[in-house]
């Protein structure tokens, strides 16, 4: 079960990143191009939100099943001294949760904004912040396509 969840978490990473870029492209084009807010713009933000939520659920399940995380939780002092253990236990978990909050806030604020230009601008700003946090918190040194290669 652990290997399956790890593979799903890894594959969903790419879906989240692709959806982030899609939502950002729509937001920036709408903002800079003065376009109307369309159902596709809302859908782009919703899909980004849904898949980052799924990523969090997969990640939380991995925390419970991962031998790496179990070992880290049994020896917190040692885990804090080991860069990779600390990264997954603290930095990755907190930063990705923060990114999820940014996506949710951005999506909600964009939907509630009174004008189309403001909706696009808010989506662009909040999704950009979320993507920067995500890019910083991804363990790029790990296999990029775990389970497939």
In a domain, 145, yes or no: no
In a domain, 121, yes or no: yes
Q: What is the pLDDT of residue 147?
A: 56
Best CA proximity match to 9, nearest among 58, 50, 65: 58
In a domain, 27, yes or no: yes
Task: Give 97's Cβ-side CA count (13 Å radius).
Answer: 10
How many independent structural domains does the chain possess? 1
Those residues with Cβ within 8 angstroms of residue 113's Cβ, 6 or more apart along the chain or in another chain: 119, 122
- Give the domain range for residue 103: 2-137
Those residues with Cβ within 8 angstroms of residue 76's Cβ, 6 or more apart along the chain or in another chain: 89
In a domain, 46, yes or no: yes
Question: Whole-structure pTM over 0.85, yes or no?
Answer: yes
- Quick check: 66 pLDDT over 90? no
> Which two structure tokens, joined as six digits, stand for 61?
């399940």
Mean of pLDDT values over 19-34: 96
pLDDT 10s digits, 68-85: 888 888 888 887 888 888
Confirm if 34 and 117 have CB atoms less than 8 A apart.
Answer: yes
In a domain, 143, yes or no: no
Dist CA 3 CA 33 (whole Å): 45
- Quick check: 136 pLDDT over 60? yes
Radius of gyration, alpha carbons of the chain:
17
> Which two structure tokens, joined as six digits, stand for 146?
């775990």
Mean of pLDDT values over 12-38: 96
In a domain, 146, yes or no: no
In a domain, 83, yes or no: yes
In a domain, 144, yes or no: no
Those residues with Cβ within 8 angstroms of residue 110's Cβ, 6 or more apart along the chain or in another chain: 27, 37, 45, 119, 120, 122, 123, 126
Confirm if 79 and 85 have CB atoms less than 8 A apart.
Answer: yes
């Amino acid at each position: 079960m652990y290997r399956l969840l790890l593979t799903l978490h890894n594959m969903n990473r790419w879906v989240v990143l692709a959806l982030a870029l899609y939502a950002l492209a729509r937001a920036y084009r709408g903002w800079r191009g003065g376009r109307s807010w369309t159902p596709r713009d809302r859908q782009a933000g919703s899909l980004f939100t849904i898949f980052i939520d799924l990523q969090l659920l997969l990640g939380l399940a991995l925390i419970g099943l991962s031998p790496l995380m179990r070992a880290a939780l049994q020896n917190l002092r040692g885990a804090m001294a080991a860069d990779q253990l600390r990264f997954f236990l603290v930095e990755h978990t907190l930063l990705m949760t923060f990114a999820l909050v940014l996506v949710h806030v951005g999506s909600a604020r964009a939907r509630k904004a009174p004008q189309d230009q403001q909706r696009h601008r808010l989506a662009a700003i909040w999704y950009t912040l979320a993507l920067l946090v995500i890019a910083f918190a991804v363990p790029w040194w790990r296999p990029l396509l775990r389970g497939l290669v």
